[in-house]
């Protein structure tokens, strides 16, 4: 069975999409292809997001924001947008989901934890759909 390819997209690829990609990889290493990108990538992953993920034992300190391109979208089976609006190209036959989540930019660790936990919950639910056998 082919490995499903998932792409997480947000504007800066510095917070939500980085957390989602890291969590999906953490929960299903090698079982799902995971990418993240941003329509306007930031210089670095939000340092407070790095701290929030470290609390779960997930290291995102060496990750960096990447520019969204059409090839990456085309290579994905599922594209999950997180507040990037119309910046994400749409290809027929792809599954698109939009996760409404607060942007962690400028937020404290206490404010980011609930965003991280909401992403984790959605990632776990997505995994049950992508890998129903368990």
Q: Is residue 134 part of a domain?
A: no
Predicted confidence at residue 86, as pLDDT, reads 59
Predicted confidence at residue 16, as pLDDT, reads 96
Predicted confidence at residue 128, as pLDDT, reads 94
Q: Is residue 133 part of a domain?
A: no
Any idea which residues carry the catalytic annotation? Answer: 10, 84, 88
> Mean pLDDT per 10-residue run, the chain (134 residues)?
89 95 96 94 96 98 94 92 70 86 95 98 96 74
Ordered alpha helix ranges (H), the chain: 16-27, 47-54, 70-74, 109-130
CATH of the domain at 85: 3.40.50.2300
The structural domain count of the chain equals 1
Q: Is residue 81 part of a domain?
A: yes
What pTM, to 2 d.p., does this model score?
Answer: 0.93
Q: Is residue 88 part of a domain?
A: yes
Predicted confidence at residue 92, as pLDDT, reads 77
Predicted confidence at residue 94, as pLDDT, reads 86
d(CA 123, CA 103): 17
């Amino acid at each position: 069975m082919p490995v499903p390819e998932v792409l997480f997209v947000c504007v800066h690829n510095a917070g939500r999409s980085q957390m989602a990609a890291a969590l999906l990889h953490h929960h299903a290493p090698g079982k799902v292809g995971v990418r993240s990108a941003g329509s306007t990538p930031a210089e670095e992953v939000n340092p407070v997001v790095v701290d929030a993920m470290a609390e779960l034992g997930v290291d995102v300190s060496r990750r960096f924001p990447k520019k969204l391109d059409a090839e990456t979208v085309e290579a994905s089976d599922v594209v999950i947008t997180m507040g990037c609006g119309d910046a994400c190209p749409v290809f027929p036959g792809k599954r698109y989901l939009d996760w409404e989540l607060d942007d962690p930019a400028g937020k404290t660790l206490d404010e980011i934890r609930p965003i991280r936990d909401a992403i984790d919950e959605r990632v776990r639910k997505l995994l049950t759909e992508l890998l129903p056998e368990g």
